[in-house]
With several copies, the nearest count.
Chain A
Amino acid sequence: MSDLYELTTDVIDIASVARRVVPPECGATVTLDGYARRFTKDKATGEVRETEYLVYEAYEPMALKEMAKIIERAKAEFEVSAIGIAHRLGRLEIGETSVVISVAAPHRKAAFTACEWLIRELKRTVPIFKKEVYADGEAWSEGEMP
């Protein structure tokens, strides 16, 4: 059972990611499915904006390296058996999946903990960039510094 990590401009099938990381000693897979949200509240002003679509771009070779690193760190730190990460690039319509992280583990507790850790690290370290396009403009999303 190997891990997987990929960047793709195709629509992501969350079941295929979740189901490609099912080792026979495991009983549970926890999957985070992040997707393009129609309404976003501005953290500073509290104003709610309606997003028309998203565009994701990546520094692809580095993003793949950083994805491999967080997988390696998660497997060292948590009792998990297999990890799959897929991140969408290009234009995403509202409701389409931007990221899927699936973690299979013998015990579900470790799968939950590792999956939550992985999305936090991905948002902190993997060089992928989100642009939100509104009816009246567009803005790069402000992320967290690593």
Chain B
Amino acid sequence: MVFADFAMILRVLFFGAAADSAGTREAQVEVAEGLTAGELVESLKAKHPGLAGQKLLIAVDQEYVAASTPLEPGCEIAIFTAVSGG
């Protein structure tokens, strides 16, 4: 992960199988400003190889977002595989 001059700190939550793969339920990450949701997921897969094989969903501030969505400082990210309630 490259730390730019203008970095932002994000809170990342992991749920279900993604939490097991990441080995954690919550992390603080420092990333370059303007990073997209998809780029964050790629960097998380690099750091936690268990996540690499999985199709992951990403939510920002409790809303599903597309991979191309830029992240804002202070936002709350959640990472999980397909939901399985019901």
Contacts and interface: CB of A to CB of B under 8 A. Distances in A.
Interface of A: 34, 56-59, 61-63, 65, 87, 98-99, 119, 122-131, 140-146
A99 B16 CA distance: 18
Interface residues of B, number: 19
Nearest to B61: A62
Interface in B1-30: 13, 15-17, 20
B86 to A, nearest CB: 4
B80 A127 contact: yes
A59 B85 contact: no
A123 B82 CA distance: 9
Interface of B is mostly: mixed
B81 A143 contact: yes
Interface of A is mostly: mixed
B78 interface: yes
Nearest to A60: B62
A127 B86 contact: no
Interface in B65-86: 78, 80-86
Interface string B27-67: 00000000000000000000000000001010100111000
Contacts of A61: 62
Interface of B: 13, 15-17, 20, 55, 57, 59, 62-64, 78, 80-86
B55 A127 contact: no
A124 B62 CA distance: 15
Contacts of B83: 123-129, 143-144, 146
Contacts of B59: 59, 62, 127
A13 B14 CA distance: 30
Contacts of B62: 59, 61-62, 65
Contacts of B57: 127, 145-146
Contacts of A141: 84
B55 A145 contact: yes
